[in-house]
Amino acid sequence: MAEVEIGANVKAHYNSGTYIGKVKEDRGNRYLIEVLAVLKHPMQGDIHHPGEVEGVFFHERKALAPHEKMNVKKPAVHPYDGAIPEYNKSLRDAVEIYKEKLCSKDTEFNQRAYHTLTELEDKYYKEKYY
């Protein structure tokens, strides 16, 4: 784990998603990070039982909003020195990449996750960010 300074741009893994953000505070074993862009959309479904649809609660997970703060464990935070994409474009790209992954294999889980993801797009993303 590399230590990062306050104000540094970082890549952070948080609740099954990956984001680019700016470190706002050092909170001991965690960093408070402001979201600037989405690299990987959070997984849909039950993260404790990935790939399952029977007997589990199928969670709908939205990506964090622009400038939302996340409290991330330090081992999940890495320095980031690349270009920072505009939030809306990064979200669209992350959703499209996740959709392509879900369409690559025809399973009941992938179908359900795809359906949940498109509902998120319609309910939240298209209205607010697209």
Question: Within the chain, how many helices (H) and strands (E) appear?
Answer: 3, 5
Asked if 110 contacts 102 with a C-beta cutoff of 8 angstroms, the reply is yes
- Which of 40, 44, 1 shows the shortest CA–CA distance to 20? 40
**Residue 22, pLDDT score:** 98
Please tell me the predicted confidence (pLDDT) of residue 59: 82
The predicted pLDDT at position 9 comes to 98
> In a structure prediction context, what are the per-residue pLDDT tens digits for the chain, which is 130 residues long?
568 999 999 999 999 999 999 999 999 999 999 999 999 999 998 777 777 677 777 889 999 999 999 999 999 999 999 999 999 999 999 999 999 999 999 999 999 999 999 999 999 998 877 6
Q: How far apart are CA 126 and CA 6, in angstroms?
A: 33
The answer to whether the beta carbons of residues 11 and 18 sit under 8 Å apart is yes
| CATH no. for 9-128 | 2.30.30.430
Please name the amino acid found at residue 127: E
Q: Tell me, what's the pLDDT at 30?
A: 97
Surface-to-core class of residue 26, CB atoms within 10 Å of its CB (0-12 exposed, 13-18 middle, 19+ buried): middle
pTM for this prediction: 0.91
pLDDT score for 2: 64
The phi and psi torsions of 60 (rounded to 5 degrees) equal -100, 120
pLDDT at 47: 74
97 forms beta bridges with: none
